[in-house]
Amino acid sequence: MVYPISATKLRTYQRCAYSYYLRYEKRVKNNEYFAAAVLGTALHKTLAQCHRDWHYHDAVPDRRWFHRCWKEKSQGMTLQQIREGKAILDTYYDRYIGVEDVLRKPLAVEGKIQATLEVQNLEFQIGGRYDRIDFLPDGLELIDYKSAKIMQLPDPQDLDLQIGLYYLALEQTYGEQLKYLSLLFLRTGEKVQYRATQRHKRLAKRTISQLATQLRQEDSWQPTPGEHCSQCSFSRYCAAVSREPNPLPAKNAAVKRGLQLTFGLEAS
Ligand code: SF4
């Protein structure tokens, strides 16, 4: 059995090993609830269809193609959502489609990143999602659409790990280097580009290596208190911040897993 990892998991581990242990090893439930972002999901699906299903016989699709895809993906939504989504797509079209001489077909659209990495004789499975991957003359650009009303940039440390994992995974999948991770904010049409480097790749490998060491020493998950504790949904179980921490829920007490032993890379 391989050990699945993602940027979110690795960042949780990097912040606090104990928080990681409760969430992913013990599977303690937290009360976080993410409401379905109906408009955002429909916009993502529309853009995926626009780029994936366009025939590419003409140089650039016209606006009606985007409207047609939106009509299909916005079924069942309120009139206000339909109008809002159409306006967002028009902004996208004006900024990124209508100005092009030729629209190039992306390498991949709305897919999963999957790759494996062997560290300290353990096999890890890297997982993640992307909205679009474009070919550039010197590598790949991974594009992530953002539909939230507030334009919020990610925490730099979260981002560094995410870029590093994508770098590893895309290199393995396509044999190409990641050049940029780009966040495209659909409501304003702004694109924020982050350059990917070997430093990101080394950071991801080093963090995975630390996690591998930790997984071999199951009783050494130490809390790392800090500012992030205010966002932690496991604080009631944590002796670092609670005088009398709750016992861990019994039903989560024993999550058994197997780790596949392999021979492979050491993090560098
Ligand atoms: S409260 Fe802080 S130290 Fe305790 S598990 Fe959460 S993040 Fe770690």
Kindly state if the Cβ of 19 falls inside 6 Å of ligand 1.
yes
CA angle at residue 238 from 232 to 244, to 5 degrees? 130
Nearest CA to ligand 1 atom 2: 229
84-to-42, 48, 54, 78, 149 alpha-carbon distances in Å: 11, 18, 23, 10, 12
N-to-C CA span, the chain = 24
| Residues 196 and 160: beta-carbon distance below 8 Å | no
Tokens (6 digits) for 225: 């208190």
Return the ligand 1 atom nearest residue 18 CA: 5
Task: Give the phi and the psi of residue 120 in degrees, each rounded to 5.
Answer: 50, 45
The CB of 223 under 6 Å from ligand 1? The reply is: yes
d(CA 144, CA 185): 9
Domain ranges of the chain: 38-97
Mean pLDDT of the chain: 88
Identify the pLDDT of residue 257: 54
- Measured in angstroms, how far is the CA atom of residue 153 from the centroid of ligand 1? 24
Cβ 224 under 6 angstroms from ligand 1: yes
Residue 97 has pLDDT above 60, yes or no: yes
Q: Where are the alpha helices (DSSP H) in the chain?
A: 7-15, 17-20, 38-53, 63-73, 79-92, 156-174, 198-215
User: Exposure pattern of 169-184 as b/e (b: 16+ CB <10 Å)?
Assistant: bbbebeeebbbbbbbb
Q: Which residues pair with 142 in a beta bridge?
A: 133, 181
**DSSP string over 126-152:** EEEEEEEEEEETTEEEEEEEE--SS--
pLDDT for 245 equals 92
Determine the pLDDT at residue 251.
Answer: 64
How much is the pLDDT for 169?
Answer: 94
pLDDT tens digits, one per residue of 175-206: 999 999 999 999 999 999 999 999 999 999 99
pLDDT tens digit sequence for 47-88: 999 999 999 999 999 999 999 999 999 998 889 889 999 999
In the 8-state DSSP scheme, what is residue 13? H
